[in-house]
């Protein structure tokens, strides 16, 4: 079970900032607040924490620039507002992070990007590459092209899916409330702040208010559901008051602030269990004795050089079984190359992938984080 003290050691965060905070409740971009959050994020980076920022505020900023007082209902008007507001939002983040010598990158996603396996993997590779380069990805829903049928619905859900995507240790949701209470504090003055709770607590949805503010699409209910979604990959979620002093550093110091939603399992164990039980096998790789030994005894990734044969047709990111030369299953995992590419690179060192294919996505055929060993059968 993840505890608050574990936050001291978390190294990959997704931070989501809501519209009410970013736009001073609709009065235009809160540049002073953004400068403060950026300074806190820069301090986290100095401590070795990788950060992906999921930012609301594009539609609200566009409304402010266009002089609209009420959020429009028509989708094309919302998209127009998002297109206008995105300019101001990105400019503000870019100039704020430059003060600390940090580069930013704009990443716009739709639900299709995370439900289509190829685009999911491309998005994951891009975000991981940006993090490896020390860049701060600023993620938002691609409001200018998305339709009602495929939209996330709110940036809390988007943030949780991004946390799943990059296997984050922590999802921090900054809001205009101190955390989640056992009752709606707007109507119940006696409401008590919940300091810590399992993300799968069945009572949470009944406690949460389902209404959002005038500018945002989410309320406390969407945040509870986001915490539950993030927990599937072992990510902890914390809801905290974004206006509180040094709030991100206080979270990193395991201070008793906000509401912490704990996952039942650590990230890697949760992912391994998901791999073991929830995907259909699309093909089989036959490994030489050396590769089998490395997987079983060293827990390392599978490299193309250790593969001697394959069967089946599979795409990049699909599940394949790994077997020894006697046909006994050794492991299962998500493959980084499709069956045609795998046939061309199998038996070769990773350093030859680019010359064989003309490009290289990953040096491993299956990364160890995407691979789960199959229990050995007792000797007969």
What is the 3-state secondary structure of 115-169? HCHHHHHHHHHHHHHHHHCCCEEEEEECCCCCCHHHCCCCHHHHHHHHHHHHCCC
pTM reported for the whole predicted model: 0.77
4-267: CATH number: 3.40.1160.10
pLDDT digits (tens, 9 = 90+) for 29-58: 889 999 999 999 999 999 999 999 998 888
Q: Where are the domains of the chain?
A: 4-267, 279-373
Q: Whole-angstrom Cα distance, residue 178 to residue 311?
A: 55
- The reported pLDDT for the residue numbered 377 is 46
Q: Are 291 and 302 in contact (CB under 8 A)?
A: yes
Distances (CA, A) of 231 to 110, 161, 246, 276: 21, 10, 25, 17
279-373: CATH number: 2.30.130.10
User: Which H or E run includes 332?
Assistant: strand 329-334
Residue 216 pLDDT more than 50? no
Length of the chain: 380
- The reported pLDDT for the residue numbered 74 is 83
Q: How confident is the model at residue 118 (pLDDT cuts 50, 70, 90)?
A: confident
Q: Whole-angstrom Cα distance, residue 311 to residue 76?
A: 48
Higher pLDDT, 189 or 303: 303
């Amino acid at each position: 079970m993840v505890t608050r003290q574990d936050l001291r050691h978390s190294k990959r965060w997704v931070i989501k900032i809501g519209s009410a905070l970013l736009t001073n409740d609709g009065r235009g971009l809160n540049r002073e607040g953004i400068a403060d959050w950026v300074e806190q994020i820069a301090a986290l980076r100095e401590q070795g924490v990788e950060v992906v920022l999921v930012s609301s505020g594009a539609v609200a900023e566009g409304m402010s620039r266009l002089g609209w007082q009420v959020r429009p209902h028509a989708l094309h008007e919302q998209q127009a507002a998002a297109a206008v507001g995105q300019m101001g939002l990105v400019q503000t983040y870019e100039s704020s992070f430059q003060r600390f010598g940090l580069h930013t990158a704009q990443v716009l996603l739709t639900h299709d990007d995370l439900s289509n396996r190829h685009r999911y993997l491309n998005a994951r590779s891009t975000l991981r590459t940006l993090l490896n380069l020390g860049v701060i990805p600023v993620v938002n829903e691609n409001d200018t092209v998305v339709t009602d049928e495929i939209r996330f619905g709110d940036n809390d859900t988007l943030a949780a899916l991004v946390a799943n995507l990059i296997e984050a240790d922590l999802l921090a949701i900054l809001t205009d409330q101190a955390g989640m209470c056992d009752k709606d504090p707007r109507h119940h003055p006696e409401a008590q702040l919940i300091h810590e709770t399992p993300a799968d607590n069945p009572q949470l949805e009944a406690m949460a208010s389902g209404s959002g503010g005038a500018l945002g699409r989410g309320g406390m209910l969407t945040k509870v559901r986001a915490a539950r979604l993030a927990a599937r990959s072992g990510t902890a979620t914390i809801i905290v008051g974004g206006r509180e002093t040094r709030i991100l550093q206080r979270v990193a110091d395991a201070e008793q602030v906000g509401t912490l939603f704990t996952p039942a399992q650590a990230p890697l164990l949760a992912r391994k269990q998901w791999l073991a039980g929830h995907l259909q096998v699309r093909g089989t790789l036959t490994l030489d004795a050396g590769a089998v030994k490395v997987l079983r005894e060293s827990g390392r990734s599978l490299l193309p050089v250790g593969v001697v044969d394959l069967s089946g047709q599979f795409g990049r990111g699909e599940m394949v079984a790994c077997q020894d030369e006697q046909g006994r299953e050794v492991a299962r995992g998500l493959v980084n190359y499709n069956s045609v590419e795998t046939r061309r690179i199998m038996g070769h060192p990773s350093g030859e992938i680019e010359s064989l294919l003309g490009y290289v996505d990953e040096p491993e055929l299956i990364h160890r984080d995407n691979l789960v060993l199959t229990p050995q059968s007792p000797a007969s």
